[in-house]
Amino acid sequence: MVGIDPERPGRVEEVARRVYADALSRETPFLTTDLATAELVKVSANAFLATKISFINAIAEVCEATGADVIDLADAIGHDARIGRKFLGAGLGFGGGCLPKDIRAFMARAGEPGRRPGPHVPARGGHGQHAPQGARRRVGRGTPGRTHGHPHRRPGRSL
C-alpha cells in the first residue's frame, strides 16, 4: 500500500516498485491510493488484529469458566474462511510498537471534529492483569509445538 499525494505524485510509485521489485515478482499485491486512505489502511488493519486478539482472550475467559478448551475452539472457528485461524491465540494480550500505537492513531482519527465515534476497538492489549489463569500457566511453562506471543517480535522485547 503506497499513499500518493495527487497534487504532487512525483516518483513515489516508481521508486516503491523498484525497492519492492523482488516481492512484487512473487505476486505480492501493490496498491496505490491517496495519503489519507493509506494511513487508515495501516491503522485499521492493526486495529482489526487487536480486536481479534482481544476477542479470543475474552473467549478464553469464558472457556476457563466453563471448562471448554480455547485452543480447540480457536481451531474450530478458524476453519471459517471469514474468520481464519491467524491471530486467534489466547494469551496475555498484545504489545510491541505497532498495535498499541496504531490503535491510538485510529481512535484519534475517528474522534476528530466532525466525525462520529468509531467502532469499539480495544484500548490496550485486551487483558493485562485480567488474563485468564490458563493463559498465564501456558505462557509460563510453554506448550510443546506451539509458539506464544507475537510471531514478529524480536527477542528481548517485552509486552
Main-chain phi, psi angles of 105, to 5 degrees: -65, -45
More confident residue, 115 or 17: 17
**pLDDT higher than 90, residue 106:** no
State the residue for C-alpha cell 474462511: 81
More confident residue, 158 or 18: 18
pLDDT tens by residue, 44-101: 888 888 888 888 989 999 999 999 999 999 999 999 999 999 888 887 766 666 777 7
Main-chain phi, psi angles of 125, to 5 degrees: -60, 0
CATH code 1.10.1040.10 region(s) in the chain: 35-159
Cα 139 off chain centre by? 19
More confident residue, 103 or 142: 103
The CATH-assigned architecture of domain 35-159 is Orthogonal Bundle (1.10)
Q: How far apart are CA 63 and CA 76, in angstroms?
A: 14
DSSP 3-state helix, strand, coil percentages of the chain (rounded to 5)? 50, 5, 50
Q: How far apart are CA 68 and CA 64, in angstroms?
A: 6
Residues involved in catalysis: 98
Q: What is the pTM of this model?
A: 0.60
pLDDT tens by residue, 107-144: 777 777 666 655 555 544 444 444 555 555 555 544 45
